[in-house]
Structure 1
Amino acid sequence: MKQITYVYSAHSAFAWLGSARLMEICARNGARLIHKPIELSPVVEAAGGLSFAGRTQAHVDYFFGRDIEHWAEFRGVEVIRHRPTHHDNPLALASGVIIAAQETGRGAGVDALAHAILGAHWREDADIADAATLAPLITACALDADAILTAASTDAIQTIYRHNTTEAIALSIFGSPTYIIGGDPFYGQDRLELVERALQRPFAPSTWQNPPVG
């Protein structure tokens, strides 16, 4: 089966904006998602990007405003019209829930759950760090909420979460979402058309050569 390694943050605006389209692409091409939730800030900073706290107000206003509005209208995706209330809350539980669900081998349920968590954050302005928010989302995906919430906080699952982050840094990933097909990375939901093409016919290997920086 074709596979897409899906590297993203559980509260990523652009993962949400591309989520429905990604699921359509997987269904149309018989592809399976391998979910790799990450802690985003260390990944961005390791790649040389600025933390959100370190960005200019103009950049933040554009990112959490017009750019999201543009893509939401283009993709036909519903979003709240402000920075999510709980955006700075920890993501260990929500990420652990996705990982724990994947570890059960319930592929379609995991895809639906990841979509639901992103939507709860960006459409419902819900607190995805709260087990009481996550439980009904898990149940609605035909998964065992009690079992998955219990597993999500275990050291085994949280170790996978930390490893996902370390692995993303090692791969020089610099943002969420990033989709990887056969080792070829595609950054951003605006590359989803390229993702579908790569599933159907891989791109030629890169021959691009950049001069050393500095």
Structure 2
Amino acid sequence: MIEFFFDCSSPWTWLGFESIQPLAAELGVPIAWRPILIGGVFNAVNGSVYEQRVNPVAAKARYMKKDLADWARLQGLSIRFPPSVFPVNSVKAMRACCWLGNDCVAFARAAFHAYWSDDRDISQDAELAACATAAGIDPAALFGAIARDDIKACLRANTDELIARGGFGSPTIFVGGGDDIYFGNDRMPVIRAAVERALADRS
């Protein structure tokens, strides 16, 4: 019913990741977790993100930091922006989420927390191992899995699918398995309404 396309390298995605779960639980609908590589999306369809990093609008940048802090405070999350390494290469972390499938929540949460709260570079194997351990996952099994060609292909396929379905960033949420698309952590009220409509149509 809900597809959640995400990359742990986005702080807004962590906000959406945490808020979509209680919404889905309350409405009794499943979440399909769809890990992507956001850099691939930006390279294909949203290159303006890179331009904004090089030539930011000062007032907009100041407001973005305030807005992020406001949302983090509201949701009880500790988000440091920008972290020491930004942007981070999240490919290994997102391959791990592909390997874990719908059991990726604990690992993804550990990766979000490590990067955005603890300022740890999740591109490094030692940090990924710590995230795996925190999530109750054998690090050796994780590193073996993320080197597999099928897991690499899964991450590419998810990223390509998001682009093909009109996505341009993270988090992107679809309701009902079709083209009903929502972008951003702040879309939960309209996502709720969409899910409720879909449930009503099925009843």
Q: TM-score, normalised by structure 1?
A: 0.81
Contact 2:110 2:134 survives alignment (8 Å): no
Give, in angstroms, the shift of residue 128 of structure 1. Answer: 0.9
Cα distance in 1, alignment partners of residues 85 and 63 from structure 2 = 17
- Identify the residue that residue 89 of structure 1 maps to in structure 2: 88
Q: 2:153 aligns with which of 135, 159, 163?
A: 159
Q: 1:149 to 1:74 in 2, by over 3 A?
A: same
- Identify the residue that residue 49 of structure 2 maps to in structure 1: 51
- Identify the residue that residue 208 of structure 1 maps to in structure 2: none
Letter paired with 2:150: A
Secondary structure of the corresponding residue to residue 36 of structure 1: strand
Deviations 1:42-73 (A, max 9, x none): 32353355033444322672475122112112
Alignment of 1:198 with 2:190, yes or no, is: no
CA RMSD between the two structures: 2.5
Identity fraction in percent: 29
- Identify the residue that residue 116 of structure 1 maps to in structure 2: 110
Cα distance in 2, alignment partners of residues 16 and 92 from structure 1 = 16
Cα distance in 2, alignment partners of residues 27 and 44 from structure 1 = 31
Q: TM-score, normalised by structure 2?
A: 0.85
Cα distance in 2, alignment partners of residues 175 and 35 from structure 1 = 15
Contact 1:92 1:158 survives alignment (8 Å): no
Contact 2:72 2:78 survives alignment (8 Å): yes
Can you give the 5+ residue segments of structure 1 that lack an aligned partner in the other structure?
Answer: 205-214
Count of aligned pairs: 197
Secondary structure of the corresponding residue to residue 173 of structure 1: coil
Letter paired with 1:21: S
